[in-house]
């Protein structure tokens, strides 16, 4: 290695160190933002059914929404629980009215939820009814 090559390498060394430090800082700056998405990857599934509530069958079919409990509501208290249920019911109503606009995962108070529609098969909840 001649003297000019050695001097060139030594003059480039601080620049390479500075560039590598900048690259490391940029990578670690964006890494925590990506890790938050990985941590909150699994949404809570909320199963629900659209059930008929017609007492007298007529030309209009009246339906209701039935949530299949339990879903994780242990940490919610009072008004927060009621407001979360209200938002979930409104979201279900929106998806029933606009079936082509299923958005999938949605977020309430930094917690993600996903609605899962279970088909109504007409069975009673009392599975032993009528049997001896």
Do residues 51 and 63 make contact, with C-beta atoms less than 8 angstroms apart?
A: yes
pLDDT digits (tens, 9 = 90+) for 75-124: 667 788 888 889 889 998 888 888 887 767 888 887 888 888 888 887 65
Indicate if 12 and 32 belong to the same structural domain: yes
Indicate if 30 and 81 belong to the same structural domain: no
Indicate if 112 and 52 belong to the same structural domain: yes
* Phi and psi, residue 43, nearest 5°: -80, 160
* Phi and psi, residue 111, nearest 5°: -125, 135
**Which pTM does this prediction carry?**
0.58
Higher-pLDDT residue of 46 and 12 is: 46
Indicate if 52 and 16 belong to the same structural domain: no
What total of structural domains would you count in the chain?
A: 2
Q: Which domain holds residue 53?
A: 44-117
Indicate if 14 and 71 belong to the same structural domain: no
pLDDT digits (tens, 9 = 90+) for 25-73: 877 777 665 555 555 567 888 888 888 887 777 777 788 888 887 566 6
């Amino acid at each position: 290695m001649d003297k000019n090559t050695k001097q060139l390498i030594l003059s480039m060394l601080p620049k390479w160190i500075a560039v590598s430090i900048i690259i490391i800082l940029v990578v670690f700056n964006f890494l925590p933002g990506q890790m938050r998405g990985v941590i909150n990857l699994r949404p809570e599934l909320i199963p629900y059914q659209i059930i008929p509530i017609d007492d007298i069958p007529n030309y209009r079919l009246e339906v209701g929404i039935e949530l299949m409990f339990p879903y994780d509501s242990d940490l919610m208290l009072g008004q927060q629980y009621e407001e979360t249920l209200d938002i979930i019911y409104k979201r279900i109503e929106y998806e029933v009215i606009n079936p082509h606009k299923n958005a999938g995962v949605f977020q309430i108070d930094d917690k993600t939820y996903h609605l899962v529609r279970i088909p109504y098969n007409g069975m009673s909840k009392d599975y032993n009814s009528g049997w001896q």
